[in-house]
Amino acid sequence: MEGSKVGIFFGDTHGREFIAEKDGKGGGNGANWRSNVLAFSSDNNLEDGITIDSMVLDENGSAREICAGGKTNPKKYNTSIPTAAIRVGKTDYVHYMNIYDWAGKNSRWLTNFSSLYTSTDDGKTWTRKESVTFNGNSKFSQIYYAKKDGFVYMIGSLAGRGGPGYLARIKEKEMLNLDPYEYWNGDSKKWFKADEGKATTIIPGPIGEASLLDHKKFKRWIIAYSYDSAYDPMAKSKFHAMVYRDAKSINGTWSNLKILADVNQFKGLYCPYIYPLKNNDDHLYFTMSQWEPYNVYLMKANISMK
C-alpha cells in the first residue's frame, strides 16, 4: 500500500459461529467462509501489537473475498490462497495459488494454476491478470516477493511444504508480461528469459509458506518459512519450526537454518510472513498462524547479526 499503510492478506477465513477449537481440532469452521480477505493497517508501532484500520468489504459489510475461490467454481476449485503481495509504482499485486486438493504426496498441495490480481485504487477493487499464470506443477506455484534496483525478485516453490526454493526476477514495469521473466540457473551462473525449466535450486527444501525481505541495516536478504524435518532427507534430528536464512546475495550462498519459533512453543505453527516496513533494526516482526486455534498472531524476534 502507499506510504506507511500496509495491506495484509489472510487465507481461508470464517465468520459467524466460528469456534477456536483446541485439542487437535484446529482448522476452519462456522459460517461465511471466504478463501481470502484483505485488511489494512497504518499502525507502525508494533510493540503493542498491530491495529487493523479497515478491510475490503462486501455489500453486507463483511470482509470480501478478493481472489476467486472455492465458492466460485466448487467442482474445480477448493480454495485460493494468497502467497505474496507487493506494491510497484501505484499498482498493488497479489500472487495466489488456486488449490483443488490439499492431500498430495510428499506434502504437496495440488493446484490448477497460480496467478495475479492487481489493484490501482489502493486495494479497493481487484482484477485478475491471466497474462501471468503459472501451471499447476510450476516451481513458482508459491512465490515470495521483494524489490531491489528496479527489479521485483521472487523466490518460488512448488505448492506445499516439501519442495526447495527457486529464483526469478522481472523488471518492475514488466510485471504483467510473463515473457521477460528471468530465471536463475546456478549451474551456469546466468539468468534465462522465459524458461522456467532453467531455474535451479537456490535454497534446499523443505520450504513452506515463505516471505522475503531485503534488510537495509544488515545489507542482507532474509527468507522466513515453515520447516518440517519429516520432508527433509538431510535432517539429522526431528523438528518442526518457523525458520529463517540470510544471504548477502539473493542467489546465495544462504546461511544455515535459524529458528524463529518451534512447535514445542507454539503448537501447529506455520506461515511466518515478515512485516515489510520494519527492515532497519535488530528485530524481525512477522505474523504466525496456528492451526489451533486457527488464528494469526504478530511476533517479534531478535535477529542481530554481528
Q: What is the mean pLDDT of each run of 10 residues along the chain (306 residues)?
A: 86 93 85 97 95 96 97 94 97 98 93 98 97 98 98 98 97 98 98 98 97 97 97 93 98 96 96 96 96 95 83
Q: What is the pLDDT of residue 304?
A: 78
Separation CA 231–CA 296 (nearest Å): 24
Q: Length of the chain in residues, anyone?
A: 306
Asked if 258 and 239 touch (Cβ cutoff 8 Å), the reply is no
pTM for this predicted structure: 0.96
Asked if 139 and 199 touch (Cβ cutoff 8 Å), the reply is yes
Q: What is the pLDDT of residue 2?
A: 65
Sign of CA dihedral 272, 101, 179, 165: positive
SS3 172: helix
Q: What is the pLDDT of residue 1?
A: 65
The residue whose grid cell reads 477456536 is: 20
List the one residue out of 204, 107, 98, 192 whose CA is nearest residue 142.
98
Q: What is the pLDDT of residue 265?
A: 95
Q: How many other C-beta atoms are found inside a 10 Å radius of the C-beta of residue 201?
A: 15
Architecture of the 6-302 domain = 5 Propeller (2.115)
Q: What is the pLDDT of residue 213?
A: 98
Q: Output phi, psi for 263, to 5 deg.
A: -65, -20
Number of H helices, E strands in the chain: 0, 19
